[in-house]
Amino acid sequence: MIYPVGDAGGKVARLALFGADITRRREMEKKLEAMALTDQLTDLYNRRGFFTLATREVKRAERSKKGLLLFFADLDGLKDINDRLGHEEGDHALIAAAKILTRTFRVSDIISRIGGDEFAILLVETDEREAGKFIKKLQYELLLAMDSYTFPVTFSFGIAVFYSFTMSIREMMHVADACMYHSKKAGKNKISIKTVR
């Protein structure tokens, strides 16, 4: 079919606008998806983001037969900071905790605030021999933070090392959480490790 020049130009213009609308819509969908998976205060993954990505990584580890390290962390004394210094300072403590974790772990790791004062970090393609390296780096970052804030930034950590993937990510979290509570009883900045083969 032959279109008059003006009509063809109009069709091209409409197609270009239609294409631009689709591109904008896709960009907006990506932004909304990122917002749904991100904790707005700390810019870490939120609970949904953690479980979405971690479930995928567990399946990948099962196929590749590579180990996973799951850190479960509780920011010590957040209630006390909120009560004594106010919730704004409590927010600053959570942001400081997120910065420490971001500096400690790799870009490829899934670092998340899963709620309140609790954080979960999944380290992919990692085994228990490497856990010590991250623990030392974490301790160094915590020492640096001691003089940087008007409140103490300390954690209780539980670490679970997985070589068997018969558990769901939620069951793995339960193991790491139990280790964290063991650490919490021992005192601030303590770490408890369990290996699951």
Q: With contact defined as beta carbons under 8 Å apart, do 66 and 51 qualify?
A: no
**Position 196 confidence tier, pLDDT thresholds 50, 70, 90:** confident
Q: What are phi and psi of 93, to 5 degrees?
A: -65, -40
The overall average pLDDT reported for the chain is: 84
SS (H, E, C) 4-25: CHHHHHHHHHHHHHHHHHHHHH
pTM attached to this predicted model: 0.79
pLDDT at 7: 55
pLDDT at 1: 43
Which is nearest to 57 in space by CA: 140, 135, 155, 123? 123
Can you tell me the mean pLDDT for 76-90? 90
- The model's pLDDT over 20-73, given as tens digits with 9 standing for 90+, comes to 677 777 776 666 566 689 999 999 999 999 999 999 999 888 888 888 999 999
Give yes or no for residue 94 having a pLDDT over 90: yes
